[in-house]
A and B are shown apart, each in its own frame.
Chain A
Amino acid sequence: MKKLAFLFFILLHVSYIFGQNLEDLLDEETEKTTEFVSAIFKSTKIVDGQSIENPAKGEFNFLICHHFGTLNSGFYDFYGLDESNIKLGLQFGITDRIALSVGRSSFDKIYDASAKVKIIQQQKGLKNIPFGISLYTEIAASALDYRDFDLPVVFEHRLSYAAQLLIASKLSESLSIQLSPTVVHQNLVNFSKEPNTKYALGIGGRIKLSKRTSINPEYFYNLNFRDFYNDHLSLGFDFETGGHIFQLYFGNSRAISTPQFIGETNGNWLDGDIRFGFSIHRFFVYSNKNKKNELY
């Protein structure tokens, strides 16, 4: 028994001496730090729905979105390209966790404002959190002229709201998924039995094809308004070039603002009510503490 222990000690120490080299010693010096997982999605949107990403602090994103008409509208409308809905938006990174945005879409002449707050960030190292959670809220006001309608329209009727929890995880370098439970509330709806408060569950993802291109599918399953509207489904292709991100996609929603594309999608993929769309994201810096001129 003693001899065994003796042998064990020798082996232990011999391996200890020979196992040590400078690189290992260096690793011992390294303390663990928290590393936030970056770029779960390339842009702040998956397709039409919001992704968990925010512009960084001091950065703003200028956004141009287009939804064209349906592909089944035929040659006369040039397969939808004659009809166009556009949204212009600005999204500001106020802090690394909070982003505020304003936008204007041509469909229903909607003005919108939104806030996205990172509650939990996916991280590795000191703490291991395999997913991130953000809260997204949007308020949209339609400026449509209701003069021709018989109904009396008060200002409240023009408002609609959306609130989303964005729960996302970068599973690997090339695969990210996101769940987006959503509540939409519209003060005025189109049908008498249509609910004002609508629930939907969104699922989206990103599959990277290369470092700069990816395929993004997105689906919103509607929970309590299936009798009135269809589910939103779109499939996008993203590519980035330095400061720009281009997203090209096919989807079945006409509207671009969040309460409308989730709550009022009436296109049906199987009937060919598919619209081509694209978004262009351009990032600008409005304040940068690391000015290179200070250094040279």
Chain B
Amino acid sequence: MSIIKIISIAIFFIPSFLIQIKAQNLYVSKNASAEFLSVAPLETIYAKSTKLKGIIDIQNRSFAFEIPMNSFDGFNSPLQKTHFNENYLESTKYPKAKFTGKIIEEIDFSKPGEYQIRAKGKMLIHGKEEVMTISGKISITQNSFKILSVFSIFLKNFDISIPPIVNQKIADEIKVTVKAEFNPKI
């Protein structure tokens, strides 16, 4: 066997081996939930999605979350859901909301316990990006962890305009709650 052959075989396997190592740092959450609440003088609107997906690299504490906008259900009527997707979020044009960034606190994912953390990153909603820092709670257990975060979204920051005729029914500030359980990526 020539040396070149051996090297090429070695190189063929090394990268996948490297990715294996990398993958051990990756934790994913499928079917995490996101819910939002709009409390306006004339109407309270609530909707929830369980199609939120997240991935966290515990090595460098970077993360990415995304959610299909048309997966939100609840609302006060089916028509309201249609309006949410058609008129406000324009879900065909901007199908997903994303949040990507880094966890600020240098927490040790190998130590079980509860920690308050802050995450700084880019929030993408309705095709508009905004740098946000949101805080939350992380509970670490053996080999998995849970995240709970409550934060506010201001519609005007994401170019979502409310027509005057319904401004008593839709709040400017939307409260969002995210719950996710992370397990090692297989």
Contacts and interface: CB of A to CB of B under 8 A. Distances in A.
A226 interface: no
A190 interface: no
Contact of B19 (A6, A17, A21, A173): A17
B85 A38 contact: yes
B86 A9 contact: no
Interface in B13-72: 14-15, 18-19, 26, 28, 30, 44-46, 53-55, 57, 62-66, 70
Contacts of A3: 4
A288 B76 contact: yes
Contact of B75 (A26, A55, A290): A290
Interface stretch (B92-100, B105-113, B136-144, B150-158): B92-100
A59 B8 CA distance: 65
Nearest to B14: A13
B156 to A, nearest CB: 17
Chain B contact-residue range equals 35 or more
B165 interface: yes
B75 A13 contact: no
Contact of A29 (B7, B53, B78, B83): B53
B79 A290 contact: no
Interface of A: 2-3, 5-6, 9-10, 13, 16-17, 20-23, 25-26, 29-30, 35, 38-39, 55-59, 93, 173, 211-212, 241-243, 283, 285, 288, 290, 292, 295-296
9 contacts: A23-B64, A23-B98, A25-B64, A26-B28, A26-B54, A26-B65, A212-B87, A288-B76, A292-B44
Given A59-B77, A283-B77, A292-B44, 10 more contacts: A6-B4, A23-B64, A25-B64, A26-B65, A212-B87, A241-B166, A285-B77, A288-B76, A290-B76, A295-B46
Closest 5 A-B residue pairs measured CB to CB? A56-B78, A13-B15, A22-B64, A285-B77, A211-B87
Interface of B: 2, 4-5, 7-8, 11-12, 14-15, 18-19, 26, 28, 30, 44-46, 53-55, 57, 62-66, 70, 73-79, 82-83, 85-87, 90, 92-93, 98, 100, 163, 165-166, 169, 185
